[in-house]
Amino acid sequence: MRTADNQPAKRDSFASSFGVLVAMAGSAVGLGNLWRFPYLVGQNGGAAFILIYLGFVILAGLPVMLAEFIIGRRSQASARRAFQVLAPGTHWGITGILGVICCILILSFYSVVGGWGIEYLFKSVRFDFTYGNQENLKTLFSSFSTSVWRPLICHTVFLALTAGIVIAGVQKGIEKFSKVMMPLLFLIVIGIAVRSMTLPGSGPGLSYLFKPDWSKVTSQTFLAALGQAFFSLSLGSCMVITYASYVKKDANIISLSAQTAAADTVFALIAGCAIMPAVFAFGISPGEGPDLVFVTLPHIFSQMPLGGVIAIFFFLALLLAALTSAISILEVIVAFCMEEFKMKRTVADVLVFFVIWVLGCLCSLSMGPLSSWKVLDKNIFDLFDFLSADFLMLLGGLLIVIFAGWKLGRKVVYDEFTNGGTLPVPAWMLKTLLFLIRFVAPAALLAIAIFQIHE
Ligand code: PHE
């Protein structure tokens, strides 16, 4: 059955508030927390980076998340149509299209890294790291990631798993999967953090995480922290708009946003506690870069008592975290195709699978045979990462807060925050949140953009 504007009469929706929270947290907690956050902390001076990051989460991340929640829940529509529904006859729909493009780029390289996670889970189950030294493990990783077939197969498996969950829909696929996997994921990472913090010599790792060294902070640190906050909270890509469109009208979007941001940040800190103390306990430099998780950690696991088993749990956690995020990225694109081109979920899912599969293959091959294909001096993998995390997400975030704060305006914002006056939200809180959406978040985003152009 279809309604007058030819939309499916009944939209999928999340069954419960807990379901929304685990799905949102599932999207936020991902490779960003376990792979990107630890190495950025390592490269940017530890605690000082973390403090700047926390500042951006509150001043820019939270307002953008609230704005996306408002747009998605109010319109009950996917990325582009959400803007069309709320501002008919304008060009704001472009923001949604940028979000979809951003998701296509992210999922293409995300699926490749998720595939590496599968390979490393297999390696750890076979106890492949047991006798490795740092050099061996570096060679192991680079010969794997630059080869042709194995990474492609792993990417295919990862993407097929993702598409398999999304095909089952919002309630039966995304919500069900996240409800089981998210608690498991938290437990595993807490267990590894306890092991890491009780290693002899782990103290300096903890003080690196919690005692700021401001001398390492440069202008680049600020861009890295802002980009990471957006990537980790899945913002500016219309992902929150899409999930929020499945949220019921009586849910409290202020507390859902705050809880999602808190869960993601706490998880990143626990991941830091799982990784840094061990890195220091084994006398390794924390600034290893993107190889940290695939080279340094296996090296540490190979030396640590019970390391073989910890390795299995770590890569299992990495894979689960990556999957719950990948399904949210795919859902943005699938929901867009379903609503814009009136496709069935199955057809949209299979079609998008193929498009991302091809782009992901290019990303994977750009590590090896296609490494000479460069744009802006970057291979395809780095180009996709840069265009999405350092550019489209921030631009999307800026457009989204301006849209919610200025185009929709105060009445709509307050109406969504209080569910039409039925939730008792204190006036000071409404005013502060509106101020963050209207002024603080756009100013922070613009300042970073201008800073970047001047560099
Ligand atoms: N937040 C996810 C992570 O940290 C990545 C992501 C980006 C997910 C954009 C959805 C949308 O890994």
Q: Write out pLDDT tens, residues 249-266.
A: 999 999 999 999 999 999
Domain containing 209 — which CATH number?
1.10.4160
The percentage of residues in the chain with a pLDDT greater than 90, rounded to a whole number, is 71
Question: What is the atom index within ligand 1 of the atom nearest the CA of 325?
Answer: 8
The pLDDT confidence band at residue 345, using thresholds 50, 70 and 90, is very high
Per-residue model confidence (pLDDT) at position 444: 92
> Is pLDDT above 60 for 4?
no
Least confident of 211-215, 254-258, 283-287: 283-287
Q: Residue of the nearest CA to atom 11 in ligand 1? A: 234
CA of 233 to the centre of ligand 1 (A): 6
427-437, pLDDT tens digit by residue?
999 999 999 99
Per-residue model confidence (pLDDT) at position 455: 63
The secondary element (H helix, E strand) that includes residue 152 is helix 149-167
Q: Is residue 12 part of a domain?
A: no
Q: Is residue 11 part of a domain?
A: no
Mean pLDDT within 382-403:
93
**DSSP letters for 176-238:** HHHHHHHHHHHHHHHHHHHHHHTSTT-HHHHHHHHS--GGG--HHHHHHHHHHHHHHTT-SSS
Residue 115 contacts residue 90 (beta carbons within 8 Å): no
Per-residue model confidence (pLDDT) at position 153: 98
User: Which of 110-114, 221-225, 313-317 has the highest average model confidence (pLDDT)?
Assistant: 110-114
Per-residue model confidence (pLDDT) at position 244: 97
The separation between CA 24 and the C-alpha centre of its own chain, rounded to angstroms, equals 10
> Is pLDDT above 80 for 289?
no
Q: Is residue 78 part of a domain?
A: yes
Q: Residue of the nearest CA to atom 6 in ligand 1? A: 234
Per-residue model confidence (pLDDT) at position 9: 47
Least confident of 29-33, 37-41, 69-73: 37-41
Nearest 5°: phi and psi at 87?
-135, 70
Q: Is the CB of 32 under 6 A from ligand 1?
A: yes
> Is pLDDT above 50 for 2?
no
37, 237, 325, 393: residue to mutate for ligand 1 pocket, most atoms within 8 A of CB? 325
Q: Find residue 2's DSSP bridge partners.
A: 8
The pLDDT confidence band at residue 227, using thresholds 50, 70 and 90, is confident
The pLDDT confidence band at residue 411, using thresholds 50, 70 and 90, is very high
Q: Is residue 398 part of a domain?
A: yes
Residue 244 contacts residue 75 (beta carbons within 8 Å): no
55-66, pLDDT tens digit by residue?
999 999 999 999
Residue with more model confidence, 416 or 390: 416
Q: Is residue 10 part of a domain?
A: no
The pLDDT confidence band at residue 448, using thresholds 50, 70 and 90, is confident
133-171, pLDDT tens digit by residue?
778 888 889 999 999 999 999 999 999 999 999 999 998
What's the domain range around 425?
17-454
The pLDDT confidence band at residue 5, using thresholds 50, 70 and 90, is very low
Q: Is the CB of 30 under 6 A from ligand 1?
A: yes
Q: Is the CB of 31 under 6 A from ligand 1?
A: yes
Least confident of 253-262, 383-392, 405-414: 383-392
Q: pTM of the entire structure? A: 0.94
Token code pair at residue 302: 């190979």
> Is pLDDT above 50 for 275?
yes
Tell me the pLDDT of the chain averaged across its residues: 91
Least confident of 159-163, 279-283, 335-339: 279-283
Per-residue model confidence (pLDDT) at position 131: 60
The pLDDT confidence band at residue 407, using thresholds 50, 70 and 90, is very high
Q: How far is CA 334 from CA 22, 79, 118, 222, in A?
A: 20, 10, 24, 33
Q: Is the CB of 27 under 6 A from ligand 1?
A: yes
Q: Is residue 7 part of a domain?
A: no
> Is pLDDT above 50 for 306?
yes
Q: Is the CB of 228 under 6 A from ligand 1?
A: no
Q: How far is CA 120 from CA 142, 216, 262, 311, 360, in A?
A: 13, 32, 29, 9, 18
> Is pLDDT above 90 for 376?
no
CA of 231 to the centre of ligand 1 (A): 5
Q: Is residue 3 part of a domain?
A: no
Q: Is residue 4 part of a domain?
A: no
Mean pLDDT within 221-230:
89
Number of domains in the chain: 1
The pLDDT confidence band at residue 1, using thresholds 50, 70 and 90, is very low
Mean pLDDT within 187-214:
90
